[in-house]
Amino acid sequence: MRLSRRRFLGGAAAAALGGAGVYELVDKLSPAPHRTVAEPAGMPAEQHVIDLGTVESEGVEVVVPPLHSAVVTATLDVSKPAGAQRELENALRELDARFALDPAGLVVTVAWGLPYFDRYVPAQAKLHLPYDRRARKPALLPTRTFPSDPQGTLLEENDVAVLFRSDRLDHIEFARNALFEKLSLFRATSIRRGFAGGGFHGGRSLPQKLAVAAGVPGADLIPEGSELFLGFTSTQKAGLGPRLIANHETLGYVDLRSGYFRNGTHMHLSHIAEDLEAWYLNFDFDERVLTAFRPGMTQVRQGTQTVAQGPGQVSSQRLLERQFKQTGRFGHSASIQAASRLLHDTVGEDGTVYPKGTAVPQRADFNTLDNPFAWTVDPKRDQWSDQPAAGVHFVVFNPSSDDFERNRLAMDGVLPDGTKLSVPPRTRAQGFNSILTTTHRQNFLVPPRRHRSFPLVEL
Amino acid sequence: MVAALAALALAAPAASAAPGGTKAGCPAAWLPGWQRLADKIDAPVYCPTWMPNPLDAQIGGQYEDIYSISKDRSYLVSFLEHGDLDSGDVHVNFRGYPGRTTIPKCQTIALEGAKTIHGVTNCFADPAGVKKAPGITATVYRVNQDADQWHILLAWRYNHSLYTVSEHVIPPYTYAQVVRNLGVLLKSLVLVRPQG
């Protein structure tokens, strides 16, 4: 089971497309999709919510993700936080006024790390940060590693992360410039860029085109039209959390305390390198299906990319354990679903009924050729390279750090009730883990829109 | 920019010329080894007249890596150049299974804690199209086992027997270049029949 040897493609071809240059191909390779979604009436209270259109892919309703995403992480460079709050809020409002709040315009999400709350507003944070009553822990926890993480995974300590999402690269660049070049509030620590989709109407998808153009090993093996590098569609509507489900308050997991962070959520940000050649040269299609989804899925037509994962197809913990006992392996989706899907019909705080099997996490991940980032302030620490490499910037919204951790631990076979599906970390029996390498992680809190700028400093 | 990349890809290491390299027959320097193999297994074998740079296909020569004949007369002949200073490998395997045309089974071994789980799987899987040469219609397999793991493999049937050739996907050759190499290799094959 040789899954360790890999070498990056060297040479001028890769170097020519290194760093940010490759992303400039995006607009040329895939024009922005036609969006039929109506503009939201007014600004939602949530920063993380984005209304996206859907298409049908192989009989399954699939959400069309924004073509481009970027994240800028930073530490702060402020001596007077109150003034900084006004300055940032004004800049964000100018962006709000300039761009529609949808993928054709721009969606900006400002998330704050524990170092910010600890250093700048410790007293207020003690009183107002939400508390996860289910976990009996703060809703925002120090970032941790997981069993399948390699030893070198960096736990970051940024004060802030800003997520930009748009079909237009120039919109993202305008906003990044407005917040990180024109203002002098931040010391950027990294810029992360990426893309998703683009192949829903036939032909090659954006990830495939860009990976091939960059000469990334395994690029030629990505199936035609694949939404992401690994060949399966991950944004099917029934598999994503509904609009407000990831809010702190919706499912009742979190005590909002003062209510300051009502309409807020938790965000986890990580970078994961993907070994495409190992995936496509060591796992045949059937094994890719049972690795990505669950053992026993033997009826999936060869070449299928969108495998239905709605509430009706959700794997229960019992099924997961039984199949593990039979086969000695578990699938990526099946293990996560044991933690990420509602176990019974649940009524949200606003009266919305969420049926059993509904997904809680709202994913906003996107593929990247960053290695590991498009730019970093500390290339040595981040082991930065200008050689493009296949990966994913994993961005996900959950009601709390603990909720994310439950999902991520389940991916490693540690289920919420403490059951352990015991296989060594990173073996091919353990879902995707053998071909993934997490390089960086950090937890953030996403305040509601009204408190997105330097939360709590006004108190 | 994509066009420029394609041009760069084509500028990868050139194929080596076979000694006396014509399709007419197995090159003189390589023929004795392939003839001995055909005689030993008492079945035809395919001798290449072209190999990816820098390999040759001289059995017993400087690039021979594996020369193995099983009790059932199936064989594996492998040629390898292991580059210095991380420059990459070039690795080509030839197999034949006289008297059988089914895809062989390979054993898999997975470690689950202290337990070892043994399984069985097709040695060649994930078919991805066909490649043709005179007298040969080969299926391209992308997921292969044992000595062919990480290789792209072509398999075809002839005279109630199964034959394969595969090449490792590893720098200096990309996946696309390996597929091209295998296409050229396939067209270069000549049969060497057992004598007497």
Q: How many whole angstroms separate alpha carbon A287 and alpha carbon B105?
A: 16
Asked whether the beta carbons of residue B174 and residue A215 sit closer than 8 angstroms, the reply is yes
Contacts of B144 in chain A (CB under 8 A): 281
Instruction: For A14, name the nearest residue in chain B, comparing CA atoms only.
Output: B5
Instruction: For B116, name the nearest residue in chain A, comparing CA atoms only.
Output: A328
pLDDT of residue B1: 29
Which of A6, A216, A221 should we substitute to test contact with B (largest number of B Cβ atoms within 10 Å)? A221
Contacts of A212 in chain B (CB under 8 A): 2
pLDDT of residue A424: 83
Contacts of A220 in chain B (CB under 8 A): 174-176, 179
pLDDT band at A35 (very low <50, low <70, confident <90, very high): low
CB B65 within 8 A of CB B166: no
Q: Tell whether the model's pLDDT for residue A14 goes beyond 70.
A: no
Residue B60's CB is within 10 A of a number of other CB atoms, namely 10
Contacts of B88 in chain A (CB under 8 A): 7
Q: Tell whether the model's pLDDT for residue A23 goes beyond 70.
A: no
- Segment A82-141, tens digit of pLDDT: 899 999 999 999 999 999 999 999 999 999 999 999 999 999 999 999 999 999 999 999
Asked whether the beta carbons of residue A428 and residue B111 sit closer than 8 angstroms, the reply is no
Amino acid at A301: R
Which has the higher per-residue pLDDT, A438 or B117? A438
Mean pLDDT, residues A32-57 taken together:
74
CB A237 within 8 A of CB A244: no
What's the alpha-carbon Rg for chain B, to the nearest Å? 17
Asked whether the beta carbons of residue B5 and residue A17 sit closer than 8 angstroms, the reply is yes
pLDDT of residue B70: 96
CB B131 within 8 A of CB B113: no
Q: How many whole angstroms separate alpha carbon B21 and alpha carbon B28?
A: 9
The mean pLDDT of chain B is: 87
Nearest to B125 among A10, A221, A284 (CB): A284
pLDDT of residue A315: 76
pLDDT of residue A175: 98
The mean pLDDT of chain A is: 88
Contacts of B125 in chain A (CB under 8 A): 284
Per-residue HEC secondary structure of chain A comes to CCCCCCCCCCCHHHHHCCCCHHHHHHHHHCCCCCCCCCCCCCCCCCCCCCCCCEEEECCEEEECCCCEEEEEEEEECCCCHHHHHHHHHHHHHHHHHHCCCCCCCCEEEEEEEHHHHHHHCHHHHHHHCCEECCCCEECCCCCCCCCCCCCCCEECCCCEEEEEEECCHHHHHHHHHHHHCCCCCEEEEEEEEEECCCCCCCCCCHHHHHHHHHCCCCHHHCCCCCCCCCCCCCCEHHHCCCCCCCCCCCCCCEECCCCCCCCCEEEEEEEEEECHHHHHHHCCHHHHHHHHCCCCCCCCCCCCCCCCCCHHHCCCHHHHHHHHHHHCCECHHHHHHHHHECCCCEECCCCCEECCCCECCEECCEEECCCCCCEECCHHHHCCCCCCCCEEEEEEEECCHHHHHHHHHHHCCECCCCCECCCCCCCCCEHHHHHEEEEEEEEEEECCHHHCCCCCCCC
Asked whether the beta carbons of residue A217 and residue B175 sit closer than 8 angstroms, the reply is yes
Tokens of A242: 């509904």
Which has the higher per-residue pLDDT, A290 or B164? B164
Q: Tell whether the model's pLDDT for residue B18 goes beyond 60.
A: no
Mean pLDDT, residues A422-447 taken together:
90
Asked whether the beta carbons of residue B143 and residue A215 sit closer than 8 angstroms, the reply is no
Contacts of B8 in chain A (CB under 8 A): 11-13
Which has the higher per-residue pLDDT, A121 or B5? A121
A20 touching B (Cβ < 8 Å): no
- Among A46-60, A318-332, B4-18, whose mean pLDDT is lowest? B4-18
Mean pLDDT, residues A40-46 taken together:
77
Q: Which residues contact A350 (CB under 8 A, 6 or more apart)?
A: A244, A250
Asked whether the beta carbons of residue B170 and residue A5 sit closer than 8 angstroms, the reply is yes
Q: How many whole angstroms separate alpha carbon A115 and alpha carbon A160?
A: 9
- Segment A220-273, tens digit of pLDDT: 999 988 888 999 888 888 888 888 999 999 999 999 999 999 999 999 999 999
pLDDT of residue A309: 77
Residue ranges of chain B whose CB lies within 8 Å of a chain A CB: 1-2, 4-5, 8-9, 86, 88, 108-113, 117, 122, 125-126, 142-144, 149-152, 169-171, 174-176, 179
A280 touching B (Cβ < 8 Å): yes
Asked whether the beta carbons of residue A422 and residue B117 sit closer than 8 angstroms, the reply is no
Cβ burial of A100 (10 Å; 0-12, 13-18, 19+) is middle
Mean pLDDT, residues A272-282 taken together:
95
User: Could you tell me what percent of chain A has a pLDDT over 70?
Assistant: 90
A210 touching B (Cβ < 8 Å): no
- Among A357-371, A422-436, B107-121, whose mean pLDDT is lowest? B107-121
- Among A78-82, A396-400, A455-459, B39-43, whose mean pLDDT is lowest? A78-82
Contacts of A219 in chain B (CB under 8 A): 175
Asked whether the beta carbons of residue A9 and residue B174 sit closer than 8 angstroms, the reply is yes
Q: Tell whether the model's pLDDT for residue A413 goes beyond 80.
A: yes
Q: How many helices (H) and strands (E) does chain B have?
A: 3, 11
Asked whether the beta carbons of residue A424 and residue B9 sit closer than 8 angstroms, the reply is no
- Segment A351-363, tens digit of pLDDT: 999 999 999 999 9
- Among A161-170, A318-327, B12-21, whose mean pLDDT is lowest? B12-21
What is the interface pTM, i.e. ipTM, of the complex?
Answer: 0.74
pLDDT of residue B114: 64
Instruction: For A29, name the nearest residue in chain B, comparing CA atoms only.
Output: B2
pLDDT of residue A21: 59
pLDDT of residue A174: 97
User: Could you tell me what percent of chain B has a pLDDT over 90?
Assistant: 76
- Segment A333-382, tens digit of pLDDT: 889 998 999 999 999 999 999 999 999 999 999 999 999 999 999 999 99
CB A237 within 8 A of CB A178: no
A282 touching B (Cβ < 8 Å): yes
Instruction: For A328, name the nearest residue in chain B, comparing CA atoms only.
Output: B112
Mean pLDDT, residues A308-313 taken together:
76
Tokens of B66: 């594996």
Asked whether the beta carbons of residue B169 and residue A13 sit closer than 8 angstroms, the reply is no
pLDDT band at B50 (very low <50, low <70, confident <90, very high): very high
Contacts of B1 in chain A (CB under 8 A): 16-17, 25, 213
Which of B126, B148, B173 should we substitute to test contact with A (largest number of A Cβ atoms within 10 Å)? B126
pLDDT of residue A162: 98
pLDDT band at A32 (very low <50, low <70, confident <90, very high): low
Which has the higher per-residue pLDDT, A32 or A50? A50
Q: Tell whether the model's pLDDT for residue B141 goes beyond 90.
A: yes
Amino acid at A242: P
Q: Which of A283-297, B4-18, B37-51 has the highest mean pLDDT?
A: B37-51
pLDDT band at A3 (very low <50, low <70, confident <90, very high): very low
Which has the higher per-residue pLDDT, B22 or A192? A192
Please report the residues numbered 383 through 442 in chain A whose beta carbons come closer than 8 angstroms to any beta carbon of chain B: 422-424, 427-429
